[in-house]
Chains A and B, each alone.
Chain A
Amino acid sequence: KNEVEQSPQNLTAQEGEFITINCSYSVGISALHWLQQHPGGGIVSLFMLSSGKKKHGRLIATINIQEKHSSLHITASHPRDSAVYICAVRDAGGTSYGKLTFGQGTILTVHP
């Protein structure tokens, strides 16, 4: 079993729909990152969370530390949101250097 599991692996939506991508992890963490990767492009950090909820524009990220679960929500989705969304967790182990473990990514396609 992977330490970081994302669901769904593939997601297709119509423009305007509300989208949720889930991330579950099995290790103790100090922080969780949500990342966005466009085809052929680099990776952009969307959020870094250690508790609660963050919002940026149409994007909302939540984390429940007790349940080891995080969600990324996109409200009023748009075709330009089409990308791979990756969850990554930072190790809370003895070192402070913060090893990152990545999920396999969720491929989101938003149709007009």
Chain B
Amino acid sequence: EAGVAQSPRYKIIEKRQSVAFWCNPISGHATLYWYQQILGQGPKLLIQFQNNGVVDDSQLPKDRFSAERLKGVDSTLKIQPAKLEDSAVYLCASRPRTSGGELFFGEGSRLTVL
């Protein structure tokens, strides 16, 4: 079974530029999460999708971050414009069922904002 795919693995941009990350969850997984993990901290939820609907985006900085999951399969997370404090690893995870099931993470996309 293929895992959660993320790209790019690494991205370096200057502040005020924009960046987009892509995630393809495991086939059939209804729930998809985007997390931000700053060095030395645990992951922080940015947004949770159930199929193509948003379940929780309370911690997403909506003035600069956006995410979509068209057709309920793959998802894109965009940051525009980026700030220095956005430097982090952006993790995508998926889960097969709404109320149970193991969690599967991608390798993450490491963003450095200069």
Contact = CB atoms under 8 A, between A and B. Distances in A.
A100 B42 CA distance: 12
Contacts of B45: 99-100
A31 B108 CA distance: 24
Contacts of B44: 102
Interface stretch (A41-49, A55-63, A75-83): A41-49
Interface stretch (B67-75, B79-87, B94-102): B94-102
Given A43-B91, A99-B48, A105 B99 contact: no
Interface string A86-102: 10100000011111101
A7 interface: no
- Classify the interface of chain A: helix, strand, loop or mixed: strand
A102 B43 contact: yes
Contact of A103 (B31, B42, B99, B100): B42
Contacts of B100: 30-31, 98
Contact of B42 (A41, A44, A95, A105): A105
Nearest to B55: A97
Contacts, number: 58
A99 B35 CA distance: 12
Given A97-B55, A99-B45, A100-B45, A42 B102 contact: no
Contact of B103 (A95, A100, A103, A105): A100
B42 A104 contact: yes
B35 to A, nearest CB: 8
B103 A45 contact: yes
Contact of A45 (B33, B104, B108): B104
12 contacts: A30-B100, A42-B108, A43-B93, A43-B105, A45-B103, A96-B98, A97-B98, A98-B99, A99-B45, A100-B103, A104-B41, A105-B41
Given A42-B106, A88-B103, A100-B45, 13 more contacts: A30-B100, A33-B103, A35-B103, A35-B105, A42-B105, A43-B93, A43-B105, A86-B42, A86-B43, A95-B55, A98-B95, A98-B98, A102-B42
